[in-house]
Amino acid sequence: MHFALISKILGLLLVVFSFTMMPPVAVAFYYGDGSEGPFLTSFSISMLLGLMLWLPFFRQRAELQARDGFLVVTLFWSVLGVIGALPMLISDAVPVGFTDAVFESVSGLTTTGATILSGIDELPKSMLFYRQQLQWLGGMGVIVLAVAILPMLGIGGMQLYKAEIPGPMKEAKLTPRIAETAKALWYVYLAITVVCALAYWAAGMSLFDAICHSFSTISTGGFSTHDASMAYWDKAAIDWVGVIFMLIGGMNFALHFAAWRGRSLLTYVQDPEFRFFMGLMLMYIALVGIGLMFFHIHDRPDQAARHAAFQVASFGTGTGLTSTNAAAWPGYIPYLLIFTSFIGGCAGSTAAGMKVVRAALIARHSLRELRRLIYPNGIFALRFGKHVVNDRVLQAVWGFVGVYITIAVIFTLLFTVTGMDLTTAVSAVAASMNNLGVGIGQVGGGFANITPEAKWMMTLLMLLGRLEIFTFLVLFTPLFWKQ
Amino acid sequence: MHFALISKILGLLLVVFSFTMMPPVAVAFYYGDGSEGPFLTSFSISMLLGLMLWLPFFRQRAELQARDGFLVVTLFWSVLGVIGALPMLISDAVPVGFTDAVFESVSGLTTTGATILSGIDELPKSMLFYRQQLQWLGGMGVIVLAVAILPMLGIGGMQLYKAEIPGPMKEAKLTPRIAETAKALWYVYLAITVVCALAYWAAGMSLFDAICHSFSTISTGGFSTHDASMAYWDKAAIDWVGVIFMLIGGMNFALHFAAWRGRSLLTYVQDPEFRFFMGLMLMYIALVGIGLMFFHIHDRPDQAARHAAFQVASFGTGTGLTSTNAAAWPGYIPYLLIFTSFIGGCAGSTAAGMKVVRAALIARHSLRELRRLIYPNGIFALRFGKHVVNDRVLQAVWGFVGVYITIAVIFTLLFTVTGMDLTTAVSAVAASMNNLGVGIGQVGGGFANITPEAKWMMTLLMLLGRLEIFTFLVLFTPLFWKQ
Ligand SMILES: [K+]
Ligand SMILES: [K+]
């Protein structure tokens, strides 16, 4: 383990992160909401801490190895999670303690979007902007993690995507390659965000709200500047903009990059995960839309389609924005929506969950097992798009899904120990581990009233989900720390 | 497909099954409860139907092939499920329609033990005996299925046990081998049943109840002759007899056979699945027992231990007998108990669920994936006991578990469509698919009040669970019917 190097990298990250306190300061001055203080203090703390970690090792020239990657990535999200909590902890306008502040900050950075705040509409504009920006930055981090880092660490079968990482340095060392990939992807991310903000603005949001919601839409984060989320406007045009950009956020950004570079929408259609993803979404929308008509929640087909599409896109990508009180919808619909978040979005997207590619591989593997029962000596290759998936990748996928489900079940039981009923517990697991952010049952109105133990469990699950479990778990094996 | 041969076998089965109507007739005469009529009618129908299927083909000498096995096994449970419903359908003492009668019969034969009846204590003795006997016969069928047939069909990785099938004819053809294996195992099954009945009798049950409950304990079936189940006696000695024999029913009967032949208890200790099973059970008992003390349900440690052990043995092996109203226990305990039934008992036992051996293999596989992240080029063999588990078996296990969980999730959602809440829906899936038989939530008091749609879904799930899913699913692939 290169602790000196890791300290240097972490220090550098904190220095860079400290500058993200500046846009909220600008917002505070612009609106004169008097909240620049907490951000300036947080800037100083983050900068100082960063320099303390960076300066002693700034001559360090060692190369980062794959194994260091697990530690750096885990530290990145957990340390920034705590530092990101500072403005809320310091500000008098946000009456939160340490537990709640870290919950909210980690919820932002992991693009979860679960909130312990209420009366959001009354918060200072700068603080609202800061929360949204946390999600946008988190989304940036996620994309680099998902597209460049996880495939190289080989987590959960993501080595499948090793050859498809954009950027010119296919077989280079870790650091320059990640930097190259990051740059290419962030341009795409930034461009889509700008388009999204303009679309929201054109559809009727204020410019401030349009920018803020573009941040939490593209990052599939789900924070809003209003307690009512998107129901604040209750406008079809705004909802449909949301649907489109949530779905875009739930797709592989390497695919966006490839489509943009090739100037061709065919790139999407040729991608097997994209097709599976859209197929799932359309199926969910049909199931929910039919239910809304059947139970007479919406009798007009356009209304049923709009609210079905919005909630499916929101839950399916784990965004967690809501256009209506979906938790109160009847019967199976809220359960189905919660379920969709377990599969989640595509690999390489800002969405979480187990990922569409893994669900698709598992579905094909199961069909192959059926065939093998009939022809025990037959050879059946497992294809995904043009590629034949090798057994090693498949085993990693199964390992991932097995551990994911096991942790989901264990934490569901643990949440019931804190006094939740089963619906609420399942919902809390989905909200945190799938980085979904919204709940049903007793947490349909937010997470302010759950026990502190439950809040810390959710914070842990947000990190676990975001780090694709294994990045985090591997740090707890003795083998990892052996030289 | 050898349809003539399949018809012959099915006919023979029905002829044999028709004679199982005779013991209830004897019970009816002994107690003079006047219920011999429905059993004699059912005997005639089953016998006639059997002869109609058998006689045209009785000269048929073809050998049964592995592929025919899927169809025979599925027909065995579904046809006997319908024929077994006849006495209840005919009898005036049991006021049930077709749906309820088939539900109850399939529930018996699959050793599920879910019931739509109430006022059981008032039923004719012969009818009570018949229900218990259905479970005992089902248990017999299950053992042959699990020990002799599934390993040969290669379902869900059970080829792992191919070498361990008892009987002298290791590599022989299907029919004589199954017959040999069946004979060996049934002696063991019968012997354990006799010991169980004597133990219940000695512990304080009437001889009739002792025999009846030995039937539903060894088969992990869970039907009782009293509405209150084992709480009718509320006696520590009876409960502990139940604990021991439910656990014995949840173990591999090939292991019982080996231990009996070798006259050594060491046989058990050397079996890795047995150790994993007992480890799980002790962990569950500790978790439940501590909860009972903590929530002051039972303040005396011996009481807490007794009720924790009974409910864990009952839910963990999917028996479903209850010594107290466990559905009303607080907080996490009922959820934990429901969860234990998903793993279920050992392969080759009368218990259902995904099976301990599969859970153990998945746990080991996941640990191996963690190691592989740290040493991507390392070779890590997956061991289970003395054996190295090959990738083919592992893939079959994963395929099984993946399909099992998928079906569980889909049916949970389908049950919520029929109006159940989430807890009830999960409980209905566990009760039927894991052949558990008891429920919590709205079905804590039995399954009489669920919709007919839900009853048929449960009936289907009982069969699916009992047939290890794939035996049934494979019949719905076009590939299976291709010559
Ligand atoms: K989210
Ligand atoms: K049972």
Highest mean pLDDT range out of A242-251, A436-445, B355-364?
Answer: A242-251
* Identity of residue B173: K
Please check whether residue A358 is in contact with residue B406, taking contact to mean a CB–CB distance below 8 angstroms: no
Tens-place pLDDT, residues B106-121: 999 999 999 999 888 9
Q: Indicate yes or no: CB of A474 within 8 angstroms of CB of B66.
A: no
For residue A164, the model assigns a pLDDT of: 59
Q: Indicate yes or no: CB of B413 within 8 angstroms of CB of A372.
A: no
DSSP 8-state assignment for residue A64: P
Q: Is A387 helix (H, G, I), strand (E, B) or coil?
A: strand
For residue B465, the model assigns a pLDDT of: 94
* Identity of residue A481: W
Structure token pair of residue B211 = 């025999």
Core vs surface per residue A227-263: b (16+ CB within 10 A) or e: bebbbbbebbebbbbbbbbbbbbbbbbbbbbbbbeee
Q: Which of A7-11, A64-68, B381-385 has the lowest mean pLDDT?
A: A64-68
For residue A170, the model assigns a pLDDT of: 44
For residue A483, the model assigns a pLDDT of: 65
> What does the alpha-carbon distance between residue B252 and residue A270 come to, in Å, rounded to a whole number?
49
For residue B439, the model assigns a pLDDT of: 87
Q: Indicate yes or no: CB of A370 within 8 angstroms of CB of B470.
A: yes
Q: Is B190 helix (H, G, I), strand (E, B) or coil?
A: helix
**Does A191 contact chain B (CB < 8 Å)?**
no
Report residue A104: phi and psi, to 5°: -65, -40
> What does the alpha-carbon distance between residue A46 and residue B379 come to, in Å, rounded to a whole number?
43
Q: Indicate yes or no: CB of B365 within 8 angstroms of CB of A331.
A: no
Tens-place pLDDT, residues A39-64: 999 999 999 999 999 888 878 777 77
B44: closest CA of chain A, how far (Å): 37
* Identity of residue A270: Q
> What does the alpha-carbon distance between residue B346 and residue B280 come to, in Å, rounded to a whole number?
11
| Average pLDDT value for residue range A74-96 | 91
* Residues of chain A numbered 411-470 and touching chain B (CB < 8 Å): 412-414, 416-417, 419, 421-423, 425-426, 470
Structure token pair of residue B411 = 């049916």
Q: How far is the CA of B22 from the centre of ligand 2 (A)?
A: 25
Structure token pair of residue A475 = 């740090």
Contacts of B70 in chain A (CB under 8 A): 373
More confident residue, A269 or B3: A269
For residue B479, the model assigns a pLDDT of: 82
**Does B76 contact chain A (CB < 8 Å)?**
no
Query: Does A131 have pLDDT greater than 90?
Result: yes
CA A180 to chain centre: 22
Q: Is A165 helix (H, G, I), strand (E, B) or coil?
A: coil
Closest residue of chain A to B335, computed from CA coordinates: A413
C-alpha radius of gyration, chain A, whole number: 22
Residue A56, Cβ neighbours under 10 Å: how many?
A: 13
For residue A155, the model assigns a pLDDT of: 81
Ligand nearest to the CA of A220: 1
What band does A462 get if pLDDT is binned at 50, 70 and 90? very high
> What does the alpha-carbon distance between residue A117 and residue A94 come to, in Å, rounded to a whole number?
8
Own/partner contacts of B441-449, CB < 8 Å, gap of 24 or more, are B441/B327, B444/B325, B444/B327, B444/B328, B446/B114, B446/B115, B446/B116, B446/B117, B446/B118, B447/B103, B447/B114, B447/B115, B447/B116, B448/B100, B448/B115, B448/B116, B448/B117, B448/B118
For residue A319, the model assigns a pLDDT of: 94
H/E element holding B427? helix B422-433
Residues of chain B with pLDDT under 50: 168-172
Instruction: Name the H helices within B55-145.
Output: 66-83, 86-90, 98-109, 125-144
For residue B169, the model assigns a pLDDT of: 42
* Identity of residue A133: Q
Contacts of B419 in chain A (CB under 8 A): 331
A114: closest CA of chain B, how far (Å): 22
| Average pLDDT value for residue range A138-159 | 83
- In chain A, what percentage of residues exceed pLDDT 90? 60
H/E element holding A104? helix A98-109
Q: How far is the CA of B323 from the centre of ligand 2 (A)?
A: 14
Q: How far apart are the first and last CA of chain A?
A: 8
Distances (CA, A) of A97 to A108, A119, A135: 16, 17, 21
Going along B264-421, which residue ranges are E strands?
383-384, 387-388
Kindly list the domain boundaries of chain B, sorted by start residue: 3-254
Structure token pair of residue B462 = 């009982």
Among B284, B373, B473, the residue to mutate for chain A (most A Cβ within 10 A): B373
* Identity of residue B228: A
Nearest neighbour of A426 by CB, restricted to B339, B402, B422: B422
Query: Does A333 have pLDDT greater than 50?
Result: yes
Q: How far is the CA of A178 from the centre of ligand 1 (A)?
A: 25
| Cβ-proximal residues to A279 (8 Å cutoff; 6+ apart), any chain | none
Contacts of A416 in chain B (CB under 8 A): 331-332, 335
A229: left (phi over 0), alpha (psi -120 to 50) or beta: left
H/E element holding A383? strand A383-384
Q: Is B384 helix (H, G, I), strand (E, B) or coil?
A: strand
> What does the alpha-carbon distance between residue B442 and residue A190 come to, in Å, rounded to a whole number?
51
For residue A171, the model assigns a pLDDT of: 45
* Residues of chain A numbered 123-162 and touching chain B (CB < 8 Å): 153-155
Which candidate, B12, B380, B319, places its Cα nearest to that of B136? Answer: B319
Distances (CA, A) of B332 to A28, A414, A442, B427: 47, 8, 16, 14
> What does the alpha-carbon distance between residue B425 and residue B423 come to, in Å, rounded to a whole number?
5
Q: Is B383 helix (H, G, I), strand (E, B) or coil?
A: strand
Tens-place pLDDT, residues A368-427: 888 888 888 888 888 888 888 888 888 889 999 999 999 999 999 999 999 899 999 999
Q: Indicate yes or no: CB of B374 within 8 angstroms of CB of A474.
A: yes
